[in-house]
Amino acid sequence: MFDSQGPSSPEIHNILSIARSRDEGSAPEVSIVVPCYNEEENLEPLHAEITATMARLGLRYEVIYIDDGSQDRTHERLEEIWERDLAVRVIRFRRNYGQTAALSAGFRYARADVVVTMDADLQNDPADIPKLLAKLDEGYDLVSGWREKREDRLFTRKVPSWLANWVIRKIIDVPIHDFGCTLKAYRRGVFDGIRLYGEMHRFIPALASFLGIRMAEIPVHHRPRVHGSSSYGLGRTPRVILDLVNVKFFVHYFARPSHIFARLGFHLLWPCALLSAAGFALMATGALEVPYWASALVLVLGILIFGQFLVAGLLGEIVMRAYHESQERPVYVVERVLNGGERKGAGEENRARRPAELRAGAGGP
Ligand code: UDP
Ligand code: MG
């Protein structure tokens, strides 16, 4: 458990304060976001556990299930749950976009200013939700679960995860033990402030650290997967490494891409310069016959490479600016959104609104 540095960026501080002072009305106080991919057998027991926990807490809440293009009967199960429980909303993706996109959609559609994310496979325990919320109430903006006793296979899951967490911790410099745990609680300022691409849900604490938020990590219960199978194996390692490079770049060189390129170029230049100088020295002392032109060529090569990196850095600056100033676009296409008004028995007036909501679905709630 730790405190990261407190709010440092004035921008995020403003977002957080606005979020906290919004008119509450009948909007939920907590949105629970659950990405689901082929989880047909887990959804009923999971929903029962979430409902029991939330009933004990006595908070207004909604559960947003994101069906990430499942091929089994996940959507039918979700529709049944949605039919009978007014607290449920369902988002169905047209195809499988991945857990990151599903979480990102959950954040976009969440109506509460506090979001709890969790897996659908019963590996996370809904009974931990009150602990996360209590910690958030202590003044944190992001509370991350730590699966201290992880119930997964040792060599294919636990060992790679320990290694990955160690590498990520070192490279990104955020002291979290378990980046991969989906069970987390966020304030709006955090989930509104980060953009997720690729497989970046693992790096949410790293991306959020950029916002200068207060972050805590608490141990949570982890259970073995009983129904269905894990979507991930060792095959994801190269993608995680590439995303790690991306995140490092975005978190640490986000506003100054030319600096990292210049550094890389310099680290290629100095060995060339050293090699060239050694060549000249050997020739001058007569120790070895190294032609002058060869030494000069190595030096010229180093300078050219350095120049190339400087130019790439400038291009990076242009791209970064275009990126930040361009329109925000979601990373998914929504096929269908099940909101409260469209339930059986709801008035025609509500049903008539559906196409408009669907249109809005492609770009957000
Ligand atoms: N998941 C998803 N889309 C995917 C893969 C997984 O929404 O393409 C969901 C899955 O249903 C589960 C969570 O993400 O709720 C974590 O997936 P999984 O249990 O396979 O990962 P593991 O726990 O083995 O890391
Ligand atoms: Mg799992």
For the stretch 146-165, pLDDT in tens is 999 888 888 888 888 888 89
The conformation of residue 187, written as its DSSP 8-state character, comes to: E
* pLDDT above 70: residue 15: no
Alpha carbon separation from 117 to 66, 145, 151, 255 (Å, rounded): 11, 10, 19, 29
Task: List the residue whose alpha carbon is closest to atom 18 of ligand 1.
Answer: 230
Least reliable range by pLDDT among 65-74, 230-239, 355-364: 355-364
> Which of 358 and 192 is assigned the larger pLDDT?
192
What spacing in Å lies between the alpha carbon of 356 and ligand 1's midpoint?
31
Q: Name the nearest CA neighbour of 92 among 330, 332, 253, 281.
A: 332
* pLDDT above 60: residue 275: yes
* pLDDT above 60: residue 348: no
Ligand 1 in reach of 37 Cβ (< 6 A): yes
- Model pLDDT for residues 87-118, shown as the tens digit of each residue: 999 999 999 999 999 999 999 999 999 999 99
* pLDDT above 80: residue 271: yes
Alpha carbon separation from 83 to 33, 41, 77, 338, 342 (Å, rounded): 18, 18, 10, 10, 10
Q: Name the nearest CA neighbour of 290 among 298, 300, 280, 299.
A: 280
**Bridge partner residues of 89 (DSSP):** 64
* pLDDT above 90: residue 362: no
Q: What is the pLDDT of residue 323?
A: 74
Ligand 1 in reach of 39 Cβ (< 6 A): yes
Ligand 1 in reach of 99 Cβ (< 6 A): yes
Out of 75, 119, 240, give the residue to mutate to test ligand 1, the one with the largest number of ligand atoms within 8 Å of its CB. Answer: 119
Mean pLDDT of the chain: 85
Quickly state the pLDDT bin for 85 (edges 50, 70, 90). Answer: very high
Least reliable range by pLDDT among 142-151, 246-255, 352-361: 352-361
Q: What is the pLDDT of residue 347?
A: 58
Ligand 1 in reach of 35 Cβ (< 6 A): yes
Which helix (H) or strand (E) is 108 found in, with range?
A: helix 99-109
Which helix (H) or strand (E) is 88 found in, with range?
A: strand 88-93
